Amino acid sequence: MRTGIFLSYAGGFLDAVDEVVEFEQLGVDIALVAEAYSYDAISQLGFLAARTSRIELGTGVVPIYTRTPALMAMTAAGLDYVSDGRFRLGLGTSGPQVVEGFHGLPFDAPLGRTREVVEICRQVWRRERLSYDGKHYQLPLPAERGTGLGKPLKLINHPVRERIPITIAALGPKNVELTAEIAEGWQPVFFYPEKAGEVWGDALRAGAARRDAALGPLDVMVSASLAIGDDVDDRLAWAKPQLALYIGGMGARGKNFYHALATRYGFGEVADHIQDLYLAGNKAEAIDAVPDELVRQVSLVGPRGFVKERLAAFTEAGVTTMLVHPLSGDRRESVTYVEELQNLLP
């Protein structure tokens, strides 16, 4: 199992970079930078590329709607260049709240657009003349929709690699099936290992049946909060605000992917309660309503023996990369947690 660090997208980035340098020295394999409605991930990854030399770097994730497919490919090729072939492109759809609310773009056809973005990116990296006739993207733009002056172009630069690894963040069955078919990696959220097969097993198998062998095995990249020790139960509360935000506040009733996931895990009544509180503006109460049990199952928080057992459960569920977020306000403690994790890996 590989280990990785998931950087927060809310403040403290320069301090986090210093931590990543230390984590690289510990042998951590990958660092991901998220992008929501925060600083963009790309400029931060360029800075990280300059400060590191071995650790893999990636987006975790960028929404497919906010950049054209060609720009997505150009950006990935640029980051792969400045990092000397250490970049991984993490893609996702995000959700209507971010795409429509913050960017003013329609949140439509997530499956179709994801497939086409991936296909166009790989065409750009192969330096083919960009000619694509998809349902959602046509390159060049057809004459009846533009000036008719466009012609197929290819990337001027020669990318470091013609196949940059792509990871897709996916939760719903159809999205997960698509990911298992076309991507090098899959990034689920709030991964409950004992429930994973029940929730995603059929979709993963269906996608794998159509998977090109050249992609290699699917890298299952799971994020989890981290705190190791005999007296870290208080850190469970540190992980609850994010769970409450996603389960309760990301999207409207009936259109919240994370609420649906918690329900599939068997926490439907709790998820409804959290959502009721959050949407009513009672955020503190919504956070308090997140059960310790849910946090424990999707995190690595507890004594060494417990964390070792949870790592074994994640491994049994097919996880190949563990992306952790140390629950600490102290840099030395965060590094210690990650060092402990390295020693506990199966």
**In this structure, what token pair is assigned to residue 86?**
């250490």
CATH at 320:
3.20.20.30
Query: Shortest CA distance to 219 belongs to which of 168, 191, 185?
Result: 185
Tell me how many domains the chain contains: 2
Q: Are residues 241 and 128 in the same domain?
A: no
Q: Are residues 138 and 271 in the same domain?
A: no
Overall size of the chain counted in residues = 346
Structural domain boundaries, residue 162: 2-227+303-344
Q: Are residues 261 and 130 in the same domain?
A: no
**In this structure, what token pair is assigned to residue 231?**
């007296």
Q: Are residues 60 and 143 in the same domain?
A: yes
pLDDT at residue 56, as a whole number: 98
pLDDT at residue 93, as a whole number: 93
Q: Are residues 147 and 211 in the same domain?
A: yes
The lowest-confidence range among 249-253, 262-266, 296-300, 324-328 is: 249-253
Query: Shortest CA distance to 321 belongs to which of 49, 56, 19?
Result: 56
Q: Are residues 165 and 271 in the same domain?
A: no
Q: Are residues 210 and 125 in the same domain?
A: yes
91-148 pLDDT, tens digit each? 999 988 889 999 999 999 999 999 999 999 999 999 999 999 999 999 999 887 888 8
Q: Are residues 128 and 172 in the same domain?
A: yes
Check: CB of residue 166 under 8 Å from CB of residue 183.
yes
Q: Are residues 137 and 166 in the same domain?
A: yes
The pLDDT > 90 percentage for the chain reads 85
Pairing of the two strands 56-59 and 87-92? parallel
Rounded to 10 deg, the angle between the 13-26 and 41-51 helix axes is 50
**In this structure, what token pair is assigned to residue 341?**
């994790």
Q: Are residues 222 and 235 in the same domain?
A: no
Q: What does the longest C-alpha to C-alpha distance in the chain come to?
A: 68
Q: Are residues 249 and 192 in the same domain?
A: no
**In this structure, what token pair is assigned to residue 200?**
């995603």
Q: Are residues 90 and 184 in the same domain?
A: yes
Task: Find the DSSP H helices in 55-149.
Answer: 69-82, 96-99, 110-125
- pTM, whole model, 2 decimals? 0.95
- CA dist 174 and 254 (Å) reads 17
What's the whole-number average pLDDT of the chain?
Answer: 94
